[in-house]
Structure 1
Amino acid sequence: MRIIENADKEFAAEMHKAVKDNNGYCPCFIEKTPDTKCMCKEFREMEEGACHCGLYIKVK
């Protein structure tokens, strides 16, 4: 398994800025908890797929 960043560089740059502006928390969640810190708990625990905001993708 590996984690890759979204290939759309413009989108990835916008999401990195959104995460930074949100103090490191995923901008897709309203709550700011350790579980929503980017990379969120939900993404860390999934086998494969994309995170909520689409910035990171897990592939086998």
Structure 2
Amino acid sequence: MKILLNEDKAIVNYVREGLKRTGGYCPSMLVKSEATKCMCKDFKHKIADPEFEGYCHCLMYYKKK
């Protein structure tokens, strides 16, 4: 298993700017809480699933099996 940054640098830069604006909360989430602090709780749960392969909500991170 590997956690990778999106290969599209424009997306990564866009999300990083969003993280700066939101104080580290996922810019793709409407609610600011500990569960939406980057790396969000939802993606951490997906990482724990050995069958999951894909992106987080904001497309910054990709989990590869």
Aligned to 1:28: 28
Matched, 1:9 2:9: yes
Calculate percent identity across the aligned residue pairs: 43
Give me the whole-angstrom Cα distance separating, in 2, the residues matched to 1:54 and 1:15.
8
Query: Based on CA coordinates, which of the two structures has the bigger radius of gyration?
Result: 2
Matched, 1:50 2:55: yes
Q: Size of the alignment, in residue pairs?
A: 60
TM-score normalised over the length of structure 1: 0.92
1:16 partner SS: helix
Deviations 1:34-56 (A, max 9, x none): 10001100001103321001010
Give me the whole-angstrom Cα distance separating, in 1, the residues matched to 2:59 and 2:44.
13
TM-score normalised over the length of structure 2: 0.85
What is the aligned-residue RMSD (CA, Å)?
0.9
Any stretches of 5+ residues in structure 1 without a counterpart?
none
